[in-house]
Amino acid sequence: MTVRLWALVTLGVLLAALAVVAALTVPWHRAPAPRADQIAALGQLPAEQVARARQFRSELRPGGYLSMAVGLLVTLALGLTPAGARLVELAGRPFGGHWLARAVLGGLLVVLAGELLTLPFAAWRHTIAVRYGISTQSWGGWSVDLLKSLAVGAVLGGLALAGFFTVTHFAPRWWWAFGAAGAAGLVVLLSFVLPVLVEPVFNRFTPMPDGPLRTELIALADADGVPVRDVLVADASRRTRAVNAYVSGLGPTRRIVVYDTMLTEATPDEVLSVAAHELGHAKDGDVLTGTILGALGAAVAVIAVYLLGSWSGLLRLAGVDSIGEPRAIGLLLALAAIAGLAAGPVQAFVSRRIEARADRHALALTGDPQTFEAMQRRLGTVNLSDPDPPSWEFLMFASHPSTVQRMAAARAYARGER
């Protein structure tokens, strides 16, 4: 077989594997959350709080969508015209045009161009979050976090770019195979490494002091058959008033993390309810499932890029000779942006199903639908989320069921509906 045919066969096998894993692991069944219960729950929420949350979201919306539009337009302009290739050449010029300098510095320069042009929208959103009391950060703290994010992205992106273009440079015919394996391996590695190495860059974590809540959280995890290494408190209050908790890590790195804001805003039973939801993700292997799906998706993306690279018209638009050369970084990012836009609603749908399963797990583990509903009400109120967002926006972007859907699911569970 020719190399291209091998790539096509491999792509077909990976897509089949992706479909099988998704079919077996994603909870396609939707738990009852009757619309009548949703409307009743919405009617019982304080009208002024609902109005304030909706006003907050309506003020955030223009900046969010404008940022998405500008980012996409910049990416397409750099990828579907020779502009991106010229930026890569410019970045590599001080190093004699060396391919590795072009790959790493050129790639970072192309990404930075988009980041800088969308930065004003991020600042706009921060201003609104401060005005509504969600953000507690000064401009100094916000800027430091922004620089940290850019630094982490530069390190991870630089390593990925160096690895990818090293493979394309030394294996020009079979780079798709090595690249697919490398991309899949990177996704798996980051699932283990990010919670341990990256999370502490943005938050300070301290062990939760001994006391009834810590004891109950560990007992809840033990009862669920999900051993955790520790219970930590994150200093989220230095940047936000939002409340949250999550289970982080895999295997020996797994720990329950609770925002310090939750300890002051929520009751201990409500903290247990949120922790039970997060333990559900661990119990059902959602992190592992996401890692496998992400690894398969990354491998599929690399091979698809290789196959698209034979489209001469696309290469002419970008002003490059091959999609495997560093000057094609802009084109690669443009293709990734288009694919991400198309896949976004599907990923959101799958995420909502997984989150709904974790909600059912929390209800079953605690046996306390009243506290679960109270916690959802508190999450929505404190975090200023629209309890019943517009349908089109919900379908396109929502990664979780809405507040009223989660409250309705608790009411259905209390009636014995499964």
User: Which amino acids are annotated catalytic?
Assistant: 278, 359
Cα 236-240-244 angle, rounded to 5 deg:
60
- The answer to whether the annotation marks 59 as part of a ligand binding site is no
**Distance between CA atoms of 233 and 134, rounded to whole angstroms?**
19
Cα 361-364-365 angle, rounded to 5 deg:
80
- The answer to whether the annotation marks 277 as part of a ligand binding site is yes
**Distance between CA atoms of 353 and 375, rounded to whole angstroms?**
20
**Distance between CA atoms of 385 and 142, rounded to whole angstroms?**
21
Return the SS3 of 400.
coil
Cβ 305 vs Cβ 338: under 8 Å: no
CA-CA-CA-CA dihedral for 289, 290, 295, 298, to nearest 10: 150
| Main-chain phi, psi angles of 251, to 5 degrees | 55, -120
- The answer to whether the annotation marks 265 as part of a ligand binding site is no
β-bridge partners, 207: 232
Helix-strand-coil split of the chain, %, nearest 5: 75, 5, 20
User: Alpha helices of 171-211 — where are they, by DSSP H?
Assistant: 175-193, 199-202
**Binding residue numbers:** 277, 281, 355
Which residue ranges make up the annotated binding site for Zn(2+)?
277, 281, 355
